[in-house]
Amino acid sequence: MRLGIVGAGQAACTLIAELIRGDFKGDILVFNGETHAPYQRPPLSKNWLKTSDDPTSLRLLPEPLETHPSIQWIQTSVQSLSPDQGLVTTDQGTYSVDHLVLATGTTAIKPSIPGLASESIHVIRTLDHALRLKKSLEGVTNITIIGAGFLAFELASSLADPSRTIRILAKGIRALPQVAVKTADRLVDQAPASIRVGVEIERFDETTKALVTNHGSIPTDLVIAAIGAQPNAELATACGLGSSDGIPVDEFMQTAHPKVSAIGEVSLHHQPHLNRIQRIESISEANDSASVCAKRLLGHPEPFQTIPWFWSDQGDAKLQIAGLCDRTDEETCLIESETELVMIRHQGQRVTAIEALNSAKEFMAARRLLDQGDLALDDLLQAGSVFARLQSSRS
């Protein structure tokens, strides 16, 4: 079999690793539209932004995998696909494949700000974005971050410096970190930035170098937008397989076309834990969907069934969330100390998510228990800790 993978991010690399580990009989063509070898994205907004200039430290695949003889890396963007014929057209030529996996990821959304050219607004999605931001930081004293999700808080922590003033502007309270109130409060308290909610940006005033908003004039040397991302589904949409919400796939990551699969953040599928169709942007989604796809391609299909999970490093605060809950879900604090916090989100007795701050062991146990099936609130409260509950379930 000749397999084509479009994209070379986390999902693509996990697919490659799992196929090689599973002794895949065939050739793998990887179409990488970036100029860099596969790299890790999460550190771009975290410590790497602050401490390193070395892109090689972000290398995603170990050398034996990157140079595996069955993999051919094609450094070019894909122009179009012809699934029926199994053709991938690039500006370097047309390639024939037996099956195609789309791991095209997402693109950061940039807001439109009158008076400010689009290229003057920074985003963080790729290594080139991060390198450009690093270069632009010299002499900058007023940084404005638009959006107030995890990415905005990570950036604020990474860019914190006595010589700079960092301001986070959020449109509404819904933009604040989607974690339990106590956890979010701590993040907001610890953020090395001022945070304003309910901000509408009117324009950028070049003369005063300030954003003009309904909260007054905000001095701004550099703007970073962290307001989300949109799926790169254009290639799939052009052949009738995509939508503006992503690329629909079944529980085995198969699109409507038998020769095409989609994995990672671009894939749109039923999330068993949530019992609804949803596209999720996280490393866990990239890895788990890739793993499901690899098993199918290796002839051992298993449906997608893992729970989503997330992490975010904001200075000393290590936030980890297992599961995904609605904003209206109840919350019960399981562990709280000066440095640690474990919050259970639940609907009645059914635990929907566990949010942990600086409590890695509790978080990892939560992942295991949520993956095993229904988890009751009273069981957790009785055990006193998620880890203790996991141990009791195994004894």
User: Taking CB under 8 A as the criterion, which residues in 319-338 touch other proteins?
Assistant: 320
Pick the closer one to other proteins by CB: 62 or 69.
62
Residues in contact with other proteins, shown as a per-residue x/- string from 256 to 295 under the rule CB under 8 A: ---------------------------xx-xx--xx----
Q: Is 360 in the site for other proteins (CB under 8 A)?
A: yes
Interface with other proteins, residue 230, by CB under 8 A: no
220 touches other proteins by CB under 8 A: no
Q: Which two tokens stand for residue 371?
A: 């993956």
SS3 141: coil
d(C-alpha 49, C-alpha 51), whole Å: 6
Q: Which residues of 55-91 are buried (b: 16+ CB within 10 A; e: fewer)?
A: eeebebbeeeeeeeeebeebeeebeebebeebebebe
Q: Which stretch binds other proteins (CB under 8 A): 60-68, 178-186, 249-257, 331-339?
A: 60-68
Residue 170 or 353 with smaller CB distance to other proteins: 353
| Residue 309 lies near other proteins (rule: CB under 8 A) | yes
Query: Rounded to whole angstroms, what are the CA distances from 7 to 38, 88, 99, 129?
Result: 9, 13, 14, 17
Report how far residue 80's alpha carbon sits from residue 105's, in angstroms, rounded to the nearest whole number.
16
367 binds other proteins (CB under 8 A): yes
Contact between 228 and 240 (Cβ < 8 Å): no
Residue 40 engages other proteins in binding (rule: CB under 8 A): yes
Decide the pairing of beta strands 267-271 and 194-197: unpaired
| Residue 368 is a binding residue for other proteins (CB under 8 A) | yes
- Least CB distance from residue 74 to other proteins, whole Å? 20
Cα radius of gyration rounded to whole Å, the chain: 22
The SS3 assignment for 262 reads strand
Map the footprint of other proteins across residues 10-39, applying CB under 8 A.
10, 13-14, 17-18
Regarding 297 and contact with other proteins (CB under 8 A), the answer is: no
Which residues in this chain contact other proteins in the complex, by CB under 8 A?
A: 10, 13-14, 17-18, 40, 43, 60-62, 65, 283-284, 286-287, 290-291, 309, 311, 318, 320, 360-361, 363-365, 367-368, 390, 394
